[in-house]
Chain A
Amino acid sequence: MILQLESVYGNLVRDISLSIRSRELTLIVSDWGKGTEELSMLLTCEIKPKKGRIIRIIDKKQIRLIPREFISSELKIKDILKLYEKKFGKGDEIWIKTILGDQVTENTKINDLSEINKFKLEILSIFFGKVSLIVAEDFLSTMDTQLREYALKMLVKVTKIKSASLVLFNPSVIYPYVFDKIVILFGNEIVEESTKKEFYHPYSLLLQNTKLTLGKLREKIPIKEIGDPSDHGCPYHPYCDLINKELRKRCYTENPKLFNVRDNKVRCWYYENIK
């Protein structure tokens, strides 16, 4: 275990319990907003929790952040590399050259770089100093669809080369086979944690089964409209399919705890007595 959040509360996030193990790849699925931004800052130890505890056995300098918006500047690549060196320690020349490739030089201006090369520049920070944890904000959702797989492959490869752990934020469940753990957030709290790529929470199932595919002109795609989380009871209860007569009162009035369902943890009253 390199980082553990124990029932952490921030200004927005609520009851976040999450363990990051060494060399583990974790996907956190949530719409990007102030809540996820706060969780990212808690994971990178930029802020302290309002309530709860964060146990960190690695140095803060061993954490790298891949931001949502890539760097945009009139500076040259070499200037940023110098900055990395000053901040994190000596860089690994061979990997830096390999990642950059032969199409860009250290004298290339950052604003002249293509989107994928800006991404490469961001991940180069991983090759400076010792790295144990990489926290990547939901940059994939801001990239071209066709580049996402390539970028994710590269990020995972780099994480493995450095024997580090990865926490990636994304608004959808993507490439689930890549990750050791998938955590689904709704209303700034964890509704499910899955290690076997199986899901039980109705919101997780919706995310897993939703795919925008080629279709006919003006053909609407059947989907349940999901609005804001409820401020009382279970945050997902206005949109839930699992509510029945017996559960209704509880779902409407009490927020469930995380229940163990097979290898998952699921925040849903439906699973209270199902193991």
Chain B
Amino acid sequence: MLEYECLTVDNKLNCFTAVISAHTGILGQRDSGKEEIFKATFRVVKAKGKISLDGVNILKLGEEDLRKILWTRISWMPYDVSQLFNPVYDVASHFVEIVVSHNLGCSEYALDLAKEKLKILGLNPEEILKSYVFQLSPLKLKKTAIALATFIEPDYVFIDDIEYGISEVDQIQIVNSLIDLMSVTSSKFLISDDDPAVLSHLTDEVIVIYKGEVVEEGYNVLSDPLHPYTIDVLRGYVPPDGKTSSGCVYSNSCLYSSLKCQTKKPELIRVGKRVVRCHLYPNI
């Protein structure tokens, strides 16, 4: 079980609390703080709070213990997938390096696992494994990165912005491939994206983040949104960068904003099967 308890990254993420028990989507724009959740989990940024993986706080792990769980228990596909690869090594070397460095087996075993996943993703394993990253098209590179993040079936796979830098045709192919992959792997996926359409096909539960704060969370968030920010995201237009107020983080851009919204911070309240942070919904 992966649990976040008041995870805070200075000026970027404010007391993020969640239990990840299903394929979960994190919806928000690039500056929303969603990326900080991933970065904090992989200890790329300094964070306060607790990230508990089966009771063990990732933030307190020693370097060696952290290295042991990377790839085997948690893995990450960043939005710019070229960061995952070393351009001077062929693709096969990356799969082998992970397996061998974690004492999981030999290079043949690594390549067998890699071929399996690459096939599921609709790629030609022989061609991909002998290629270097600069030889791959954006679509193939993204699919190869997904294979790398999932091939030893970690408990949690973090996928950041599927649609970054690829065409809509390619995005659809990635979404379809992930649906195939989810049906054969035991890994839980945490997918962060700014496009609700991507998340609607892939995730059971959705957490909506704006300016570092969770504004809505739960099931059916995309089919029946409650928070004005979620509604604006689904409509496809969010007013850029409103000034921040001492109240609700979205109060300066919100169509339903009142004086109360500008001055008093709303609490997360339960509405049916979800929670929402908005004064429009009375805390009953």
| Set of chain A residues within 8 Å of B195, measured between Cβ atoms | 145, 212
| Set of chain A residues within 8 Å of B200, measured between Cβ atoms | 214-217
**What's the minimum C-beta distance from A119 to chain B, rounded to whole angstroms?**
10
Contact among B29, B166, B172 for A221, CB-based, below 8 A: B172
List 26 A-B pairs, Cβ < 8 Å. Answer: A31-B170, A34-B134, A114-B241, A116-B241, A143-B30, A144-B194, A145-B236, A146-B194, A146-B233, A149-B237, A150-B240, A171-B165, A172-B167, A172-B169, A210-B169, A212-B171, A214-B200, A215-B197, A215-B201, A218-B201, A221-B175, A221-B176, A221-B201, A223-B176, A226-B173, A228-B137
A11 at the interface (CB under 8 A from B): no
Contact among A33, A115, A143 for B138, CB-based, below 8 A: A33
Bound state CA distance, A220 and B202, in angstroms?
Answer: 10
B168 at the interface (CB under 8 A from A): yes
**Beta-carbon contact of A141 and B31 below 8 Å:** no
Count residues of B near A (Cβ-Cβ below 8 Å). 45
**Beta-carbon contact of A31 and B139 below 8 Å:** yes
Q: Which residue of A lies closest to B176 (CB)?
A: A220
**Beta-carbon contact of B166 and A225 below 8 Å:** no
Which residues 216-238 of A have a CB within 8 angstroms of B?
216-221, 223, 225-226, 228
Which residues 172-201 of A have a CB within 8 angstroms of B?
172
B179 at the interface (CB under 8 A from A): yes
| Set of chain A residues within 8 Å of B165, measured between Cβ atoms | 32, 138, 141-142, 171
Q: Which residue of B lies closest to A142 (CB)?
A: B165
Q: Which residue of B lies closest to A213 (CB)?
A: B197
**Beta-carbon contact of B169 and A207 below 8 Å:** yes
**Beta-carbon contact of B29 and A212 below 8 Å:** no
A275 at the interface (CB under 8 A from B): no
- A to B contact number (C-beta, < 8 Å): 118
**Beta-carbon contact of B175 and A212 below 8 Å:** yes
| Set of chain A residues within 8 Å of B167, measured between Cβ atoms | 31, 141, 171-172, 207
**Beta-carbon contact of A211 and B168 below 8 Å:** yes
| Set of chain B residues within 8 Å of A138, measured between Cβ atoms | 165
**Beta-carbon contact of B197 and A147 below 8 Å:** no
**Beta-carbon contact of A212 and B241 below 8 Å:** no
| Set of chain A residues within 8 Å of B176, measured between Cβ atoms | 220-221, 223
Q: Which residue of A lies closest to B233 (CB)?
A: A146
Which residues 43-59 of B have a CB within 8 angstroms of A?
none
**Beta-carbon contact of A212 and B168 below 8 Å:** yes
Bound state CA distance, A99 and B164, in angstroms?
Answer: 26
| Set of chain B residues within 8 Å of A221, measured between Cβ atoms | 172, 175-176, 201
